[in-house]
């Protein structure tokens, strides 16, 4: 092979692998990770479970069909939050807050304890979503 046909050092596999390896001496920068926090992933799974529960309620004729819109919005909130989108965070925040209000209404107006427990859970989820660590992970 002539010099013109020989691969240059930057074209060899070894040199390319060395240049793409992470430098283990550099600590990761805060906010540079693009994975959701464990709490965000848990809230997204909760939103998916709420969406499925509403959809099954509509199919079983326990809930009016208009609630399929709510089911669709909570499913969108789930996937938007997992992708760290601001709109997914906003939908999840609104869903947690509105569910909390409705469930506390059931607790105080109709004196039903189980919705009160779920309302307390939604309050905790709402307070988690407004933390600065969660907001700075969003795109």
| pLDDT tens track for 128-138 | 999 999 999 99
Give the CA-trace dihedral at 115, 96, 76, 132, to 10 degrees: -150
The pLDDT of residue 102 is 92
pLDDT per position as a tens digit, 8-52? 555 555 555 555 555 555 555 665 557 889 999 999 999 999 999
- Taking the CA atoms of residue 10, residue 15, residue 20 and residue 24 in that order, the dihedral angle to the nearest 10 degrees is -140
């Amino acid at each position: 092979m002539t010099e013109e046909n020989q691969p240059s050092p930057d074209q060899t596999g070894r040199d390319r692998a060395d240049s793409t390896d992470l430098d283990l001496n550099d600590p990761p920068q805060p906010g540079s990770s693009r994975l959701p926090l464990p709490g965000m992933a848990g809230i997204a799974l909760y939103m998916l479970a709420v969406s499925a529960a509403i959809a099954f309620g509509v199919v079983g004729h326990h809930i009016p069909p208009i609630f399929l819109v709510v089911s669709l919005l909570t499913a969108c909130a789930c996937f938007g939050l997992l992708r760290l989108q601001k709109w997914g965070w906003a939908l999840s925040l609104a869903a947690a807050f509105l569910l909390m209000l409705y469930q506390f209404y059931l607790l105080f107006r109709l004196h039903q304890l189980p919705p009160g427990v779920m309302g307390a859970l939604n309050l905790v989820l709402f307070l988690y979503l407004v933390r600065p660590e969660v907001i700075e992970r969003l795109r």
